[in-house]
Amino acid sequence: MGIGTTEEHQALADSVRGLATRTTEHAALAGQGILGLHLPEECGGQGYGLLELCVALEALGERRVPGAYLPTVLTSAALTWPGPARPAGGAVTAASLIAGLADGSVTAAVAFPAEDGDPGRVLALGSPEADLFLVPVDGRGWAVLDRADVVAEPADGVDLDRPLCYVAARTMPADRVLGEVPVRELAAVLLGADACGVAAWAVRTAAEYAKVREQFGRPIGQFQGVKHRVAAALVTLEQARAAVWDAARALDATPGGGPGGEIRAEDVTGGGLGDKARAEDVTGGGLGDEVRLAVGVAGVLGTEAAVRCVADAIQVLGGIGYTFEHDAHRYYRRALSDRMLAGDPGPWAEEVAGLAAAGVRRAMEPDLPEEAGAVRDAIRAEAESLRAEEPLARLGRFAREGWIMPYLPRPWGRDASPLEQVIIHQEFRDLKRPNLGIAAWAVPSIVRYGTREQQERFLPRTFTGEIVWCQLFSEPGAGSDLAGLATKATRVEGGWSLTGQKIWTSLAQFAHWGICLARTSPEKAKHNGITYFLVDMASPGVTVRPLKEINGDEVFNEVFLDDVFVPDDLVVGAVDEGWRVARDTLSHERVALGDSWGPGSQHTDMAELIATLPPLRQSQREQAGRLWAEGQAISALGLRVTLSKLSGVDAATASSVRKLLGMRHAQAISEFCWSLAPASRRWNRMILATRAFTIGGGTTEVQLNIIAERALGLPRDP
């Protein structure tokens, strides 16, 4: 869905892509207001923010637009950044420069200080013929210099479409030294947005090629190796988009930081742009810790994603992708250049790890529309009323009033809109609504496909916890491939007789009822001829045998069905059409697993563990920072899905993307924490327990197939 989450963002991206298809001239971009999206209207801008600028930069990156637009908007963002070190005075000159950058009459180059090398001669993104040069000043922050104030010469770069140059200051006018400006952080986010566009091109190009390129008599997109490579690239892209999106909104939320900061009327005296910045203010740019954390996550994930995605695209393209005959090499060059300019992800990861270990956290709360106030007042009153109840009475009201699964239609839920669901989640945090477990997957299917009698019989007692459910889907010969299930349902008087074996059935030894798939028409192929049953686990012929798992727990079970009678009134949906019901159940399973095993608590636990240990080695700090960044981006992805639903934007594949990322991330966190504390009882258990996460609820491979086929349109296996 791109970096943007709203219909307005989508329209902006479409407009920019359309313009870039017709022309890539700098003046044309300026003429359409793209260079001033983030700038205040009084400076010739559009009055939006960095988030809208990132939406446009992603679209331009997707078209690999050449020229000076990126260093130009980065310079204008720096000039309008409000900081406590910005003095009174200098706004006249600043405003004139900003207006020129916005209308395209002035171009800029931005220098990036190297970790080592000659501090007086630095590499810059932009042409040596640029009008302005944003350069670091040793101990004094940054300065915006005219071409006459610098010595600039071309530099060889890997990107063939965007020039680099070496810059050395010839003179340093005092009135051109800026105050506290987070240029490094702004650059990481804007370059990350450009990189997301590059990665989006790579994913789309690889998918389209895989649909039509044939080998061994069929499209290569049917080969699982190709399919999974392209799907994994999309997952990488979505994670990077979430990171860049969150960093841009964090910067926009900085006091005075968006749209484009503020040029105050009382500042319009004198001709300078700024005073000397303190040396200790140069790093971090005066940003709050939470904002620095969000930007650091973008620094870790943003530009790296483009390098990985384009490399995968070249692999899918094969030989043609390694020639000048195809544009892939130009996108790869752009991706490498973006990563180089944004800075090695390693130091960004170390910074993230340090902030997280120090207790810094990034709040993930949606910005709600104005009409949310009245909705919140009503829901808050209901929540207060529930708090006053005794626990058992409160549980009864939860069930009767539809608070447990509020998105369900009445009377089982509250028919809550996405906005109401968000507010209920916020206002009910401390009320501890019951966790339905596997019933949370079954209930929506019974509501959608079950009869009224089935709903009234099972749902009220399920909501109060009187009925515990298990899921009888997987079999020894049919795990994720439910089309191969062998459990048979034979027609008998008044119902069906079920015979077969189920496996990996969580909590079957405690369940009262099970949702079960069985084949009612064996002559029909694959998913046809399957029926969805409700099975009483106390029925004669049901045998449950617990399985001891590698961590010593007994959660999984084998379940043997030996001529188990199920009456007709316990068939959900139509006979032979149970796969439709099962798909509905599985979709809720993936959402539930992604929520309950999401990375939020686990990467917080990692940070808390690190805070109790001696200082980590550099490699460990980098690894911890990368893991934190991945976890925070998964949380941001979840928030993006919520906001997309609120604004009516489709995010159909997000559940599989989040589930895949969350399960894989939980394993990585456990492995890393165990390596730090191998004698810890908790992490000894977790490293073993999380090994099942990429198997249960649809294996990693199944999730990649879903993403490839549903999101990218790759062909199914014949």
Tokens 């010839």 identify what position? 170
Report, as an integer, the average pLDDT of 321-342. Answer: 97
**H or E stretch at 597:** none
Instruction: Give the dihedral of Cα atoms 390, 391, 394, 399; nearest 10 deg.
Output: -150
The rounded distance, in Å, linking the Cα atoms of 553 and 110 is 57
User: Which residues is 169 bridged to in the sheet?
Assistant: 150
For 508, the token pair is 């079957």
pLDDT band at 598 (very low <50, low <70, confident <90, very high): very low
Q: Which amino acid is at 653?
A: T
| Percentage of the residues of the chain whose pLDDT score is greater than 90 | 72
Tokens 């997707």 identify what position? 62
The residues assigned a catalytic role are 589
Is the CB of residue 185 less than 8 Å from the CB of residue 285?
yes
Lowest mean pLDDT among 465-474, 612-621, 698-707: 698-707
Task: Give the highest mean pLDDT range of 177-181, 377-381, 415-419, 596-600.
Answer: 377-381
Q: How big is the chain by its Cα radius of gyration, in Å?
A: 29
Is the CB of residue 706 less than 8 Å from the CB of residue 656?
yes
The rounded distance, in Å, linking the Cα atoms of 692 and 700 is 11
Question: H/E/C letters for each residue in 392-439?
Answer: HHHHHHHHHCCCCCCCCCCCCCCCCCHHHHHHHHHHCHHHCCCCCCCH
Report, as an integer, the average pLDDT of 397-412. Answer: 94
The rounded distance, in Å, linking the Cα atoms of 699 and 704 is 9
pLDDT band at 703 (very low <50, low <70, confident <90, very high): confident
The rounded distance, in Å, linking the Cα atoms of 337 and 164 is 10
Q: Is the dihedral of CA 640, 301, 655, 685 positive or negative?
A: negative
Is the CB of residue 338 less than 8 Å from the CB of residue 194?
yes
What local confidence, expressed as pLDDT, does residue 457 receive? 97
pLDDT band at 275 (very low <50, low <70, confident <90, very high): very low
Lowest mean pLDDT among 5-19, 410-424, 470-484, 683-697: 470-484
Q: Please name which of 164, 159, 120, 157 lies closest in space to residue 138, comparing C-alpha atoms.
A: 120
pLDDT at 674 over 90: yes
Is the CB of residue 182 less than 8 Å from the CB of residue 40?
no
pLDDT band at 1 (very low <50, low <70, confident <90, very high): confident
pLDDT band at 655 (very low <50, low <70, confident <90, very high): low
Three-state secondary-structure class, residue 520: coil
User: Which residues is 557 bridged to in the sheet?
Assistant: 546
The rounded distance, in Å, linking the Cα atoms of 541 and 262 is 75
How many Å separate Cα 217 from the centre of its chain? Answer: 37
What local confidence, expressed as pLDDT, does residue 484 receive? 82
For 275, the token pair is 């005073």
Q: Where are the beta strands (DSSP E) in 583-634?
A: none
The rounded distance, in Å, linking the Cα atoms of 379 and 382 is 5
pLDDT at 176 over 50: yes
Lowest mean pLDDT among 107-121, 157-171, 412-426: 107-121
List C-alpha distances in Å: 622 to 287, 340, 458, 672: 22, 17, 50, 12
Which residue intervals of 213-223 are DSSP H helices? Answer: none
Report, as an integer, the average pLDDT of 28-48. Answer: 93
For 100, the token pair is 């020129």
Q: Please name which of 160, 165, 179, 83 lies closest in space to residue 132, comparing C-alpha atoms.
A: 165
Number of H helices, E strands in the chain: 21, 16
Q: Is the dihedral of CA 530, 533, 537, 542 positive or negative?
A: negative
Q: Which residues have CB under 8 Å from 541's CB, separation 6+?
A: 561, 562, 563, 564, 565
What local confidence, expressed as pLDDT, does residue 365 receive? 82
Higher per-residue pLDDT: 369 or 447: 447
Polymer length in residues for the chain: 718
The rounded distance, in Å, linking the Cα atoms of 51 and 190 is 9
Three-state secondary-structure class, residue 176: helix
495 φ, ψ (degrees, to nearest 5): 170, -135
